[in-house]
Amino acid sequence: MKKIIELNVNGEKHEVAVAPNQTLLEVLREDLHLTGTKESCDLGSCGSCTVLMDGNAVLACMILAVDVKGKEILTIEGLAQNNELHPLQKSFHEKGAVQCGYCTSGMIMTAKAFLDKQPNPTKNEVKEAISGNLCRCTGYAKIVEAILSVKQA
């Protein structure tokens, strides 16, 4: 049985009919067509589907959509404000932190939640902060550099 719930995503309220067995990831991608959030392992181990829930980084594949009512969700699509790239998006682009791009959305969202809490991190803190986001292309080097450069900016 589907149930109509109100989802607050990227500052916009959506009424969506969801079945209990739908995850937040499925509803974001399939019902709200916010396909920037990616599915990779779908078992909570890779970080590709990271979104922010009330400011905290969480995995959209591990959360039932029915369980999200009343929470504020931020996805990669909601990060740029007034057509201005978020500083993390800008630095990921400019520092070459993007290769295939499949982990990028989750990586940036994790980094955002982290920098919001810890605006002035060390290199090791950055490495630890993104250690729940797997990347097979970059060896993480340029990702760490991109996040550190936002701190300095």
Partner 1 sequence: MRLPHFEYFEPETLKSAVNLILKNKESKFLAGGTDLMPKFKKGVIRPEVLINIKEITGINSIKEEKNYLKIGALVTLGEIEDSPLINQVFPSIVEAAHSVATQQLRNTATLGGNLCQDTRCLYFDNSYLFGQSIWEKCFKRGGNVCHLVKKGKKCLAVYSGDVAPVLLALNAKVQVVGSSGKRLISLSEIYSGKGDNAFTLLPEELIAEIHVPKPKPSSYGTYVKFRERGSIDFPIVGIAAYLTINKDTIKDANIWLTSVGSAPVEAVEAESVLKGANISTDLIEKSANQAYQQIAPVPNHGYSAWYIKEMVKVFVKRALIKVMENARGGQS
Partner 2 sequence: MKQSEFAIIGKPIPRIDGMIKTKGEALYTTDISLPGMLYGKMLRSPYPHAKILRIDTSKAEKIRGVKAVITGKDTPDIKYGCMMVFGFPEASDQYFLARDRVRFVGDPVCAVAATDESIATEALEQIVVEYEELPAVFSIEEATKPDAVMLHENNPGNISIGVAYKSGDMEKAFKEAYYVREDTFNTQLVQNCCMEPQVCLSNFDSSGKLTMWSSTQAPFLQKMLMSAVLDIPQENVRVIKPHMGGGFGAKAELFAVHYCAALLSRQSGRPVLICHTREEEFAASAMRHPMRIELKIGVKKDGTIIARKGTNWLDGGAYNSLGPQAAADSLMFLSLPYRQPNVDFQSIRVYTNRSPSGAMRGLTGPQVQLATDIQLDIVAEELGMDPLDIKIKNGLKAGDVTASGLKMKSGSIEECLQKIAEESEWKNKYGKLPPLRGIGVGCNSFPCGTRVLMFGPATALATALIRANIDGTVTINTGASDIGQGSDTVICLMTSEVLGIKMEDVRNMPPDTDLSPPDYYTASSRVTMMVGNAVINAATALKAKLFEAVSKQLEANAKDLEAGDSRIYVKGSPEKGVSFREAVEICQMLNGGSTITAQGNFDPDLGPFDLRTGEGDYSPSYSFGAQVAEVEIDPDTGRVKIERILRVHDCGRVISLLGAQGQLEGSVALGIGGALSEKLFFEEGRYLNPSFLDYKFPTSMEIPDMENTFVESNDPVGPFGAKEVGEGCINPVAPAILGAIYNATGLRFKELPVTPEMILKGLKKMKGEE
Query: Interface residues with partner 1 (CB under 8 A)?
Result: 19-23, 26, 42-45, 47, 50, 53, 56-59, 61-64, 66-67, 110, 113-114, 128-129, 131-132
In the complex, the smallest distance separating the C-beta of residue 51 from partner 1, rounded to whole angstroms, is 9
CA–CA gap between residue 151 and residue 32 (Å, rounded) = 32
Residue 138's binding partner out of partner 1, partner 2, none, with CB under 5 to 8 Å set by partner kind: partner 2
* Residues contacting 35, CB < 8 A, separation 6+: 29
**Is residue 117 within the footprint of partner 2 (CB under 8 A)?**
no
CA distances from 46 to 61, 141, 151, 152 (A): 10, 18, 24, 28
In the complex, the smallest distance separating the C-beta of residue 84 from partner 2, rounded to whole angstroms, is 11
**Is residue 139 within the footprint of partner 2 (CB under 8 A)?**
yes
**Is residue 141 within the footprint of partner 2 (CB under 8 A)?**
yes
Residue 25's binding partner out of partner 1, partner 2, none, with CB under 5 to 8 Å set by partner kind: none
39: tokens are 């599915």
Instruction: Report CA dihedral (49, 32, 7, 50) to the nearest 10 degrees.
Output: 10
